[in-house]
A and B are shown apart, each in its own frame.
Chain A
Amino acid sequence: MKIASLYHPKDVNDALRVSRESKDTVVFGGGAWLKLSPRRVERAVLLDTLNLAEIRVHDDAVVIGAMCTLRSMETHEAILDIGQGILVDALEQIMGVGLRNIATIGGSVMGKYGFSDILPVLLALEASLTFAEAKEMSLESFMASKKRMNDVLLEVSIPRKKAIGYFKKVATTPLDFSLLNVTVVKTDTRITVVLGSRPGGAMGHDVTEYINGANDIDKAVKRAVESVLEAIPLGQNVRATKAYREQLAKTYVRRGLLEVMRDES
């Protein structure tokens, strides 16, 4: 990426104002993948000095500043508690420490990367976002929206609910992007399955109705898996065919569901 100038805004409103001046002005997260972009940016707006890197623990939620690095997240105790460590599990599998010390949660969210290993988990955990102008928004509606979000992300908030989580990244090597990732989260009231690297962006599906109250667990899981495959479209790219992604989804959604149910008993 070519960058003509850098801008350190004096506050969030300044950042928002400047970021809207031109389409060649871009708000930066950590900048981990800048190298891969052929784009030319007139002005890069940096949030480095706005104190957005903190993690705050409230009674009902963990609130993560947009500029918090993935590495700071994975080493934080409150994050380790979430979904029995599911978030840390996903974070630890993103490239190496040297990259996770650069990449921020804000950049990971705003990039809406199809290959993301963190968005699916946040989605399953029902995370919400706080923007400078739009204020609160669920991650789900953010992901579903095709519109470019012309706003500055300030925080990601993850509810602190009792949850059991399962995360599986299928990749060629630990340094590869996922061929598919599978997240299963079970709370007291819901069981959610999210598939990422489909290869498109992560999508979730609620399978509570198939599992809760079922007598024959194996049959219930089988129906839940079928419903996931019906609800979430999988496709083809250079890493895997649609058929193989379906095979992976079938296997790991089943294993994930069985695991979250086993953990509970």
Chain B
Amino acid sequence: MKVKLLINQRPRVVDVEPDEYLLDTLRRHDVLSVKRGCDAASCGVCTVLIDGKPTLSCSVLSARLEGKAITTVEGEREEVTRFYTYFGDEGADQCGFCNPGLALTAISMKRTFDNPSEDDIRRYIVANLCRCSGYVAQVRAIKRYLEESS
């Protein structure tokens, strides 16, 4: 079946099976920043923005997204670059597999919250699992990004 999606500001008509998930649709269409980590809605690496809201693309049927705006890091180059300045500076990056999903979550946070506390930050990114960093550098980076960049 055909679905019209706005993928990174570009209108695309994609042909999908009824049970195809957005993660598969995106990767099939070469949006490769979106990663597959667990396939059971429990790791966060497949996070994309749907109409601006962070959403696990492994668990959303593409066919239900008619007319929706799907944003990945490919469509947020400037903001991701800004975010990375803090991330790199804090030494928060290691393997990077979870970073596109985390970056989108942080960006959506910046657009949703005024002055979030550290606890707000931690809660908001709690489902973006990372096995490399130990998280504290990530939280420091996101805190600085939210406070300092505007």
Interface of A with B (CB < 8 Å)?
Answer: 1-6, 31-36, 44, 46, 48, 71, 92, 95-99, 101-102, 174-175
Contact = CB atoms under 8 A, between A and B. Distances in A.
Given A6-B1, A102-B59, A102-B60, 4 more contacts: A31-B59, A35-B21, A71-B53, A99-B127
Nearest to B38: A35
Contact of B47 (A2, A32, A36, A98): A98
- Give the interface SS of chain A, mostly helix, strand, loop or mixed: mixed
Given A35-B39, A95-B41, A2 B19 contact: yes
Contacts of B129: 175
B105 interface: yes
Contacts of A4: 18
B104 to A, nearest CB: 9
A44 B123 contact: no
Interface residues of B, number: 30
A228 B30 CA distance: 56
A99 B64 contact: no
Contacts of A99: 41, 56, 59, 127
Closest 10 CB pairs of A and B: A96-B127, A3-B19, A98-B56, A101-B55, A101-B53, A6-B18, A3-B18, A98-B54, A98-B47, A174-B126
Contact of A97 (B21, B59, B124): B124
Contact of B40 (A1, A36, A98): A36
Contacts of B55: 98, 101-102
Interface string B1-39: 100000000000000001101000000000000000001
B128 interface: yes
B50 interface: yes
Given A2-B19, A175-B126, A35 B58 contact: yes
Contacts of A34: 59, 61
18 contacts: A1-B19, A6-B1, A31-B59, A31-B64, A32-B41, A35-B59, A96-B126, A97-B124, A98-B54, A98-B55, A98-B101, A98-B105, A99-B56, A101-B54, A102-B56, A174-B126, A175-B127, A175-B129
